[in-house]
Chains A and B, each alone.
Chain A
Amino acid sequence: MFDLEKDFLYDLSKEVKTGTTVMAVTFENGVIIAADSRTSSGSYAVNRVTDKLTPVQDQIYCLRSGSAADTQIISSYVSYYTNMFSIEEGSQPTVKKAAHMFREFLYQNKQYLHAAIICAGWDPIEGGSVYSLPLGGSIVKQPFATGGSGSTYLYGYCDMNFKENMTEEEAEKFVTYGITEAIARDGGSGGIVRKAIIDKNGVRRKTVYGNKLKKFWEK
């Protein structure tokens, strides 16, 4: 039922959420991750150039959606603990280890959190991997994953266009067009497309500005 006070008048006092679109895709050499750049509070865009591609380790990133506060603190914790891990073990943690660490936080604190995360990266054992960690704290390994409010508009697009072992160019187009279309339709997503390509050589970051996004059917 529509509450005049809660849903209409006090829109601006809503919790800051990354109403978002994020995507992570494995390709032949690693993973490509991409996100929009809007942080919204109700229908106010608090930050129009947000960086949702958060490094956890050198070659492990996470994509954050849900409560901005929750996801920021959890990524900080996981980053900290994975650092401890590399000091103790003498080697870099795998993406699997980082993803499972996220899972531990999300699952054990599920009553308090509103956080959904995609953990993606490259390690020498598995190559590129993508792990989805939705609201309840489950963990699912997938060849590609989408998240955030804008992801609803991408299920059809992804199902029809994804192929395993794409080239870097194909995979980059796949995510860029996906985020672009979600930005066009989702009010919670907007701004620019931030991308990162993670492979054995490291991380390469790219940006596609708002006015340079490809235009699909506009009417």
Chain B
Amino acid sequence: MQPKKKTLRPIVTGSSVLGIKYKDGVILASDTLGSYGSLARFRDIRRIVPITKHTVIGGTGEFSDFQEITKILRQKIIENQELVESGKEEDELLPSEIHSYLSRVLYGRRNKFNPLWNDVVVAGFEKGKVHMGTVDLWGSYFEDDIIATGYGTYFALPLMRKAYKKDMERDKALEVLRDCLTVLFYRDCRTINRYVFAEITKEGVNITDPVEIETKWEIADWQEGKL
């Protein structure tokens, strides 16, 4: 008899993923930490990965499930490629199609009480416009110009909402993301100061190498002596 296989609880987890649209495209950001409970165990993982030339996904939650999602989607792309080559399909899968497909996969799993324990951000460029949204472990589908998952929903979203303007400049978008990532590093116990940015424009996808962001600790001097 086969053992019952269910995700009982997340083991290796990733924290927030942030996303913001700007004039020429969209930028996603996350840190590179895989936590093992409270242990900062894997400090150089990639929680934002490319799926096609024009789509990336970012994942919060159970890392093994995120890797599985990456596999499932890339397999779908390959299947679609074969159909394109044999003339049955028009073109490469669009970000919105990938997003839609993923939401059905996640919803199906939730119905079987065996979720892929993730909050996934799907972002890409299609037909001259940006597509960005999330799907979560329940199968809930959501689209918006500013996106945050995990602790980011509490700390980053309000900051991003204040700063966001339609067709904002690239530098401004990066500044907002850096501010939000810094706040998250201060306040989320499951983060590290090591980040990756994924930029998608009509040219394609560019994912940076990990960088560090400056932090401020001057307020420590105001706290000394008190309990």
Contacts and interface: CB of A to CB of B under 8 A. Distances in A.
Interface of A: 1-2, 7, 19, 37-38, 40, 42-45, 47-51, 54, 72, 75, 149, 184-188, 190-192, 194, 205, 207, 209-211, 218-219
B38 A48 contact: no
A211 to B, nearest CB: 5
Given A75-B227, A186-B40, A219-B43, A44 B188 contact: yes
B78 interface: no
17 contacts: A1-B8, A2-B9, A19-B38, A19-B189, A37-B223, A43-B188, A45-B189, A49-B222, A50-B223, A51-B225, A187-B39, A187-B190, A194-B220, A194-B224, A207-B224, A218-B194, A219-B43
A149 B37 CA distance: 12
B219 interface: yes
A21 B221 CA distance: 20
Given A2-B8, A43-B190, A209-B217, A187 B224 contact: no
Contacts of B141: none
Contacts of B189: 19, 38, 40, 42-45, 187-188, 190
Contact of A49 (B44, B214, B217): B217
Name the residue in A43, A45, A50, A188 with the highest tally of chain B Cβ atoms < 10 Å from its Cβ. Answer: A43
Contacts of A205: 224
B157 to A, nearest CB: 15
B70 interface: no
Contacts of A45: 186-189
A52 B71 CA distance: 46
B38 A186 contact: yes
Nearest to A188: B38
Contacts of A210: 215, 217
B162 interface: no
B16 to A, nearest CB: 11
Contacts, number: 84
B35 interface: yes
B4 to A, nearest CB: 14
Nearest to A212: B217
A187 B219 CA distance: 21
B151 interface: yes
A218 B38 CA distance: 17
A194 B225 CA distance: 11
Name the residue in B43, B186, B189, B194 with the highest tally of chain A Cβ atoms < 10 Å from its Cβ. Answer: B189
A147 B189 CA distance: 18
B221 to A, nearest CB: 8
A124 to B, nearest CB: 25
A44 B225 CA distance: 23
A9 to B, nearest CB: 12
B215 to A, nearest CB: 5
Given A43-B151, A187-B39, 5 more contacts: A43-B38, A44-B188, A45-B186, A49-B222, A190-B189
Contacts of B39: 185-187
A187 B187 CA distance: 11
A211 B40 contact: no
Interface in B47-76: none
A219 B9 contact: no
A7 B9 contact: yes
Contact of A192 (B8, B194, B217, B225): B217
Nearest to B216: A211
